[in-house]
Amino acid sequence: MYDKIFELGKKRGIVYPSFEVYGGLSGFIDWGPIGVRIKRNVEKLLRKTYVHELECLEVECPNLHPEEVFEASGHIKSFADYMTECTMCGEPYRADHLIGDERGIEVEGKSKTEINNYLSEIKCPKCSGDLGEAYSYNLMFETSVGPGKSKKTTYLRPETAQSTYIGFNRLWQVARRTLPFGVLQVGRSYRNEISPRQGMIRLREFNQAEIQFFYDPNNMFVEGFEEVSDIKVEILDKNEQTHKLSLGEAYREKVIGNQVLAYHLGVAYRFFQSIGLPGERLVLRQHREDERSFYSSDTWDIEYISGELGKIEMVGIALRSDYDLTQHAKYSGKNFSVTTENGKFTPHVVEVAYGVDRPIYCLLESCLDDRGFALKREVSPYDVCVFPLVKKDGVDVKAREIYGKLKKEGLSVFYDKAGSIGKRYARSDEIGISYCVTVDYDTLEDDTVTLRVRSDKSQVRKKTSEVIGIL
Ligand SMILES: [Zn+2]
């Protein structure tokens, strides 16, 4: 299935490896012309959820940050993975992946000594040599800004969140000094992964959408929780117990410890359903005590159960307390506290961190049928295709005219006159376009067209004006 997705992805301009003519570079992908349209639609639905419905502010900040930012955030010290190298052939490995592959053991959160113990029992998969000691490798790409004396060490951001925190005081003014408020940032992030694999799942340059919700820790109740409380979900808790509950029940039974988290899990779940991900493949997973960051009191992921790649984390939702604002206050010497009717305090943060590339992969996997990607209209690359049956006798002129009318209605329309009509339907099915309009000789007589629906391949004859109404 994975191969099929990439084969179609390459063939139809959805997604393909970057720098292909120079042999490619692992961990980088190009979104092709069709893929960009799908991605934009997914981002549009994301903005509908967070900017339109939850009234988040949106910012766009630089990808390069000076090193002070990551000294404060802790990334310079601790944003690292353990590596090992073969003492015989020199092949580098990411320790957790190697131990996972060879022994089936999850080592996230384990100490360096424990990791070395596991490594001592494993041989190099390439040459069967002994593996060296584990060492820490920082995942940030380092570069510099400016020449000569003014040269400054900078890093490509490994997450969008830090620049949102740094701008807090300006955002607080825009939010009219009222809590809670959320801030969305959609953009690129960069991680120099040791061994990127699985195409779109672990990338070195990737798209993120992160929302920081600033709130008063003395008020953990959320307006609008009822809107998501009936959503039924599957939960895997920190003790690896499974629950099937509604979010309201999960909150009342303390499976999800507070309303802020339960609410944001519900919003994210609803967003994934809105792009077309099937609920039965989604699991809300609570992080175990030993995998959570020290500053977070509770962290959850929504995972997609892939047919082939196991569990794929699509969003992480974490209570980050006042850690980030306090760190930036300490390192910058600036004040990040607020004064409200509840006194003076530093706001707490719940972070909702989406990957954008991963959910789209999951979506492509989940909607793949025998004809291609059965995408929902809301995310499909075009609303409708227009095909002239033949390229002569004025049929093509009429088709162009109808194409223009549909575009004028604000629809996204793909015009295709190349190849047999069957091939054109097949191409349109592959990239998940819900409707096709075919223009033929009868159209010239009575202004009717054939409207074909992807889902059941049904065809109906209708007046052009009716078709515009339907679409
Ligand atoms: Zn080796």
The confidence score (pLDDT) of residue 78 equals: 85
The confidence score (pLDDT) of residue 107 equals: 85
| Number of domains within the chain | 3
Ligand 1 center to 109 CA (angstroms)? 26
Could you list which residues have their CB under 5 Å from ion ligand 1?
86, 88-89, 91, 124, 126-127, 129
Three-state secondary-structure class, residue 374: coil
Please give the Cα distance from 406 to 411 (Å, whole number): 6
* One domain for residues 39 and 89: no
User: Which residue range forms the structural domain that includes residue 347?
Assistant: 2-71+140-369
Please give the Cα distance from 411 to 416 (Å, whole number): 16
Q: Within a domain: residue 374?
A: no
Q: Which of 203, 471, 253 is nearest to 357 (CA)?
A: 203
The confidence score (pLDDT) of residue 199 equals: 77
Ligand 1 center to 85 CA (angstroms)? 8
* One domain for residues 394 and 360: no
* One domain for residues 117 and 144: no
Ligand 1 center to 100 CA (angstroms)? 18
Where residue 9 sits, what CATH number does that domain have?
3.30.930.10
* One domain for residues 61 and 96: no
The confidence score (pLDDT) of residue 198 equals: 67
Q: Within a domain: residue 375?
A: no
Ligand 1 center to 88 CA (angstroms)? 5
* One domain for residues 431 and 356: no
* One domain for residues 405 and 283: no
Q: Within a domain: residue 296?
A: yes
Task: Compute CA distances 140 → 28, 56, 189, 204, 252, whole Å.
Answer: 15, 28, 10, 10, 41
* One domain for residues 85 and 182: no
* One domain for residues 331 and 265: yes
Ligand 1 center to 331 CA (angstroms)? 43
Ligand 1 center to 94 CA (angstroms)? 14
* One domain for residues 115 and 260: no
Q: Within a domain: residue 376?
A: no
Ligand 1 center to 124 CA (angstroms)? 5
Three-state secondary-structure class, residue 60: coil
- Chosen domain end from 347, 369, 391: 369
Ligand 1 center to 311 CA (angstroms)? 29
- Chosen domain end from 114, 138, 162: 138
- Chosen domain end from 369, 395, 420: 369
* One domain for residues 234 and 288: yes
The one-digit pLDDT tens for each residue of the chain (471 residues) are 788 999 999 999 999 999 999 999 999 999 999 999 999 999 999 999 999 999 999 999 999 999 999 999 999 988 888 999 999 999 999 999 899 999 998 887 788 999 999 999 999 999 999 999 999 899 999 999 999 999 999 999 999 999 999 999 999 999 999 999 999 999 999 999 887 776 788 899 999 999 999 999 988 778 889 999 999 999 999 999 999 999 999 999 999 998 999 999 999 999 999 999 999 999 999 999 888 877 888 999 999 999 888 999 999 999 999 999 999 999 999 999 999 999 999 999 999 999 999 999 999 999 999 999 999 999 999 999 999 999 999 999 999 999 999 999 999 999 999 999 999 999 999 999 999 999 999 999 999 999 999 999 999 999 999 999 999
Where residue 105 sits, what CATH number does that domain have?
3.30.40.230
* One domain for residues 397 and 423: yes
The confidence score (pLDDT) of residue 359 equals: 97
Greatest alpha-carbon pair distance for the chain in Å reads 81
Ligand 1 center to 119 CA (angstroms)? 13
Ligand 1 center to 89 CA (angstroms)? 4
